[in-house]
Amino acid sequence: MNAPKRGADRGLRRGGFVKLFAAVTFAALAAAATAAAQTPDCPCPVPPGPPPVWFGKAELSFLSTSGNTDTSSLGGALELNYNPKPWLFTLKGSVLHAATDGITTAETYTASAKASRDLTERVDVFVGGGWLRNRFSGIQNLWNFDGGAGYKLVNGPAHFLRVEGGVGYTSEQDIVVGIIAPYDNYANVRAALNYKWQFTKTASFTNDFTYLMDLSDTSNWFITDKAAISVAISKIFALQASWTLLYRNEPPLRDLGPPPSTFSKTDTATAVGLLAKF
């Protein structure tokens, strides 16, 4: 009569053990799942660091042809930025030299310095100055100093568009009939537009446009524009093609004639070269 009871006790003990084992297993799995949900997959991505305070770029272009006519063109540019936010200090310089059969046919030098301070995410104020020499356009020296404000109309990852305007002072020295003339000084108004389109991860289009007008003679105004397309070939280097324009509405007298003639109003340059960012 006792055997069935002992069998029932064994069954109860086995059933209790199975339930206990299942409960422990479930708890362990739940704890593991919770830990996995809280722990990111490894290798863990390194969070991006702060943007660099110093950065810049350098450009170099060279073109040479030979045959019936030997031509060569050499250009270079350098830009250096210091960005202890909310300030931004920028230095720029460029040179272009072209020759045909050993005779110089184009020569341009530029330099500029600018300091700006962000007031909001979109609004900034600035002061700056620049220098231009282009003897083949009749410009011996063109010094410009101004201050004003800028506004970022678009500030996204793909498109960037900033406009600025200001007033200042210009000192202009022309070349008239082969003679370097005295300086002409006047107040100016200046406007600029900077645009960038990052149309792929490695390719971008940029355009920098400026307009400068003489307030004492509104028919004396200048336009400069540089459009460029660059394609990255590494983290540092990129190939770049650029087009530069200088337009002067009232160029000085070049030749007495007859008939008398002035320098050309339009001066352009096309370059293909290497761009390095640092």
Residue 18's pLDDT band (cuts 50, 70, 90) = very low
Range 128-155 average pLDDT: 97
Residue 20: per-residue pLDDT: 47
CB count, 10 Å around CB of 77? 20
Q: Kindly report, residue by residue over 254-270, the tens digit of the pLDDT.
A: 999 889 999 999 999 99
Pair 175, 139: CB distance under 8 Å: yes
Residue-wise burial string across 188-220, b where 16 or more C-beta atoms lie within 10 A, e elsewhere: bbbebebbbeeeeeeebebeebbbbbbeeeeeb
Range 66-82 average pLDDT: 91
**Higher-confidence residue: 139 or 7?**
139
State the Cα–Cα distance between residues 4 and 8, nearest whole angstrom.
6
Residue 244: per-residue pLDDT: 95
State the Cα–Cα distance between residues 221 and 211, nearest whole angstrom.
7
Please give the mean pLDDT across all residues of the chain: 88
Residue 63's pLDDT band (cuts 50, 70, 90) = confident
Query: What's the pTM?
Result: 0.80
Q: Is the pLDDT of residue 24 over 50?
A: no
Residue 41: per-residue pLDDT: 55
**Higher-confidence residue: 38 or 115?**
115
**Higher-confidence residue: 153 or 10?**
153
Where helices occur in the chain by DSSP H, the ranges are 3-38
